[in-house]
Amino acid sequence: MLEKFINYIMLDGKKSLAIRILDDTFAEIKAKGQKDPKGVFDKALENIMPKIEVRPKRVWGSIFQVPQEVNQKRQLFLASKWIIDSARSKKWANFSKFLANELIEAANETGNAFKKKLDVYKMAEANKAFARFANKKRKK
């Protein structure tokens, strides 16, 4: 999970810089009073991973937002993307500080990334009437 997160942080193939950013982030988490930065990281990703998302589905010429379950790999991707995008949206300081703040907030179930997950759940709840259009495997 940590290696995938490093790859998501990486820009322009600069993996050593992404590793350094994550190390600085863990140091920042430790400096903020958390004893186990890896535990905070794991808890943050676990709290942000969505179980359900909406996907567009075309039925009889209309496009419906259909709620569907999310597989494990996509859950990790979405959680990582939301956390990193939230940290990157803040400017004028060190990225690792913003990433540390966002991870701590996600572990405490607050922050922009957690709000994004709640928005996805609200969208799925609002469109649950269209769940009947989800791909169902037919028995032959």
pLDDT tens, position by position, 48-105: 888 888 777 777 887 777 777 888 888 888 888 888 888 888 777 787 888 888 888 8
The domain locations on the chain are 2-133
Measure the CA dihedral 102/108/109/115, to 10°: -30
Which residues have a Cβ under 8 Å from the Cβ of 88 and sit 6 or more positions away? 95, 98
Instruction: State pLDDT tens for residues 22-34.
Output: 888 888 888 887 7
Is the four-CA dihedral 12, 16, 19, 25 of positive or negative sign?
A: negative
The CATH fold of domain 2-133: Ribosomal Protein S7 (1.10.455)
Sequence-distant (≥ 6) Cβ neighbours of residue 130 within 8 angstroms: 57, 64, 65, 66, 67
Quick one: CA torsion of 123, 124, 126, 132, rounded to 10 degrees?
Answer: 140
